[in-house]
Amino acid sequence: MRFATVAVLTALLALAGCATPAERSEKLRLAQINTQLGVNYAREGQYEVAIEKLQAAVKAQSSYGPAHSALAVIYQTRGEMDAAEKEYRRALSLDGSDSTLKNNFGVFLCKRGKRDEAQRYFKQVVRDPRYLTPEEAWTNAGVCIKPKSTDEAERDFRKALQLRASYRPALAQMALLSYEQQDFLRARAFLQRYDLSISATPELLGVAARTEFALGDKDGARSYAQRIVRDFPESKEAEQFADWQP
């Protein structure tokens, strides 16, 4: 196997040497243009055309990482998980220093149940001093590990909040975790820090309603329930709270 590997590498090096600098530059330009076109089409929901453009980018220069990264995201969006994972791994093999890609791949792996591998990527991200939002990676790590260990999840959420005390995704996760542990006072405190008056999800409003009910504030509970029905009428929470009388 060692000789086969050396032979393949030698062949690749030989092929790379066949192109002049101008040809290599043109291939890169084509890869960049097609990748940008692919991303633009994907943003418009035209995934088939986007994939065609990105595959053209890869054909122009197979080592162009952004094209593989974009393909990974599109395949993931379409539910083609095996293809997405293949592209994620290819992109990382081309640029192992891309922490944004690692964070995204960690989320992807977690959704596929590969929690231990996902955690390794998240931990690499938070150790990268160039990564501007480590609180995001800490929160993702917490969400991923939560089914296995609520203690580790809380540790990760708190590390996110140590970095940025107002980081809403971590505040939301701490509110949910506290509610699930029936620590209603703590759940209320995190919900207050989150500030549901700014923005809210049906899930968080439902937690807020049940938290206030558990703490004896029926008016507060009713107010949250009414807001769910008013603002999110199509949600499953709206159906649950439509006739709810605290």
User: Any idea where the domains of the chain sit in the sequence?
Assistant: 166-246
- What per-residue confidence (pLDDT) applies to 7? 31
- What per-residue confidence (pLDDT) applies to 244? 84
Tens digit of each residue's pLDDT (9 = 90 or more) over 170-220: 999 999 999 999 999 999 999 999 999 999 999 999 999 999 999 999 999
- What per-residue confidence (pLDDT) applies to 8? 28
Statement: residue 14 has pLDDT above 50: no
Lowest mean pLDDT among 51-55, 109-113, 153-157, 241-245: 241-245
Statement: residue 2 has pLDDT above 60: no
Count the Cβ atoms, other than its own, within 10 Å of residue 3.
7
How far is the C-alpha of 61 from the C-alpha of 64, rounded, in Å? 6
pLDDT, the chain, mean: 89
Tens digit of each residue's pLDDT (9 = 90 or more) over 15-42: 233 344 555 688 899 999 999 999 999 9
Statement: residue 9 has pLDDT above 80: no
- What per-residue confidence (pLDDT) applies to 246? 77
Cβ 65 vs Cβ 39: under 8 Å: no
Task: State what percent of residues in the chain have pLDDT above 70.
Answer: 90
CATH number for the domain whose boundaries are 166-246: 1.25.40.10
Angle 134-145/99-111 helices, nearest 10 degrees? Answer: 20
Long-range interactions of 80-86: CB distance < 8 A, separation 24+: 81/112, 84/108, 85/109, 85/112
Main-chain dihedrals φ then ψ at residue 126, nearest 5 degrees? -70, -15
Helical residues (DSSP H) of the chain, grouped into ranges: 2-18, 21-43, 47-60, 65-77, 81-94, 99-111, 115-126, 134-145, 150-163, 168-180, 184-194, 202-214, 218-231, 236-241
- pLDDT range class, residue 6, cuts 50, 70, 90: very low
